[in-house]
Amino acid sequence: MQQTSEAYKRILAGKHWFENSVTIGDSGRLVTESGDVITFGEAPHEVVSILVDTGSPDSGFRENALYSVVTNHEFFTDGSPSVGDAVAGYVDIRMLAPYNIPKKARIALYCRVVNGTEASEWVPQGVYYIDTREQTHSGGRDILKVKGYDAMLLANVSYPSDDEHDYPLLDKTMVQFIADNMKIDPGGSGINVDPRTWELMTAGYKFNLPAGYSMREALGMIAAAYAGNFIISPSGQLRLVSMFDLPPETRVLCTEDGYKIVFGKTADGENVYILV
């Protein structure tokens, strides 16, 4: 469960609604509600537009620019109960086409609860990177469709050559090494590891150099040792979640629609579920 403030809980307890924000990249251009870039000056003289920060939720795209935002982020691969996976999530967005979105731009989703007079903090709902985009024109507007994947796909590369460590390597050290090498750009930095991962990894397992395997496969090996899976947290960090560490409300197998799967009945006629 994500940590939320007392203000969030207080507003949530009364009459409320939710607001969403989507940030794409780190900067953009000032636009109208219809998505048109606001310019100053006229041709043939220089036309100026205002560069704005879109890296924070307060300046992100809101309901007036978003048609749909659909995410898929499962704990199990293909929805089937299993351990030893590094599961990727994705997002599909349909929105008014903004100005000048860079390739592989970072997409961050946020949500907050409001009641008309008070608003909570923005709560992260996922971090993704643009994979494909398609722009169409409809009803006099330019519509952008974007599909993005979370940082787990950055681990879909061969485990790097490593002259820095001696193998077999401690599991925590290997996870940190992999996270440091999960990069969008070769010269960039990796991703952070969720602190809850270190709290879970207390066994001190050691692993041989995973030559011929991808970093994602190496994460799967470590996850299997802890009876869990690696995911990307809502804040974009690498996190190990054990099946034994799931919150109580998620420990019963469910269908995709959220209904508990019944595996039989007791002699007293009570339903039998499988706890995970």
Whether residue 262 lies inside any domain: the answer is no
CB 260 within 8 A of CB 214: no
pLDDT at 101: 78
Establish if 76 belongs to a structural domain. yes
Considering the domain architecture, whether residues 61 and 187 belong to the same structural domain is answered as no
Contact status, residue 228 vs residue 83, Cβ threshold 8 Å: yes
Identify the pLDDT of residue 244: 75
Task: Give residue 110's domain range.
Answer: 6-149
Q: Please tell me whether residues 124 and 236 are part of one structural domain.
A: no
**Backbone dihedral region for residue 149 (phi beyond 0: left; psi -120 to 50: alpha; all else: beta):** beta
Give alpha helix (H) positions in the chain.
6-13, 171-180, 195-200, 215-225
Does residue 40 share a domain with residue 135? Answer: yes
Do residues 127 and 215 both lie within one domain? no
Residue 270 CB partners (closer than 8 Å, separation 6+): none
Query: What is the CA angle 116-120-121, rounded to 5?
Result: 145
In a domain, 255, yes or no: no
Counting the structural domains of the chain, the total is 2
CB 79 within 8 A of CB 69: no
Do 161 and 142 have their domain in common?
no
Tell whether 185 and 106 lie within a shared domain. Answer: no
Does some domain include residue 232?
yes
From first to last of the 276 residues of the chain, give the pLDDT tens digit: 567 899 999 999 999 999 999 998 864 444 454 445 555 555 454 545 444 444 678 888 888 899 999 988 777 666 667 899 999 999 999 999 876 777 788 999 999 999 989 999 999 999 999 999 999 988 888 999 999 999 999 999 999 999 999 999 999 999 999 999 999 888 889 999 999 999 999 999 999 999 999 999 999 999 999 999 999 999 999 999 998 766 554 444 455 455 555 445 455 555 544 443
Q: Give the residue among 7, 4, 60, 58 at the shortest CA–CA distance from 31.
A: 60
Residue 196 shares a structural domain with residue 66 = no
Domain boundary among 149, 177, 192: 149
- Clarify whether residues 137 and 239 are in a common domain: no
Distance from C-alpha of 206 to C-alpha of 189, rounded to nearest angstrom:
25
Identify residue 53 by its one-letter amino acid code. Answer: D
pLDDT score recorded for residue 60 = 86
Torsions phi, psi for 160 (to 5 deg): -65, 155
Looking at the fold, whether 190 and 238 belong to one and the same domain comes out as yes
| Rounded-to-integer distance, Cα 3 and Cα 112, Å | 13
Give me the count of residues in the chain: 276
* 164 in the same domain as 139: no
| The one-letter amino acid at 258 | G
Residue 37 maps to a domain:
yes
Whose CA is closest to 87, among 101, 77, 95, 98? Answer: 77
CA atoms of 216 and 232, how far apart (whole Å): 12
Residue 94, in any domain of the structure = yes
Query: Is 56 in the same domain as 16?
Result: yes
Whether 96 and 225 map to the same domain: the answer is: no
pTM over 0.85: no
Which of 87, 117, 149 delimits the end of a domain?
Answer: 149
Q: Which residue has the tokens 């794409």?
A: 24
In a domain, 271, yes or no: no
In a domain, 269, yes or no: no
**Domain end: 109, 127, 149, which one?**
149
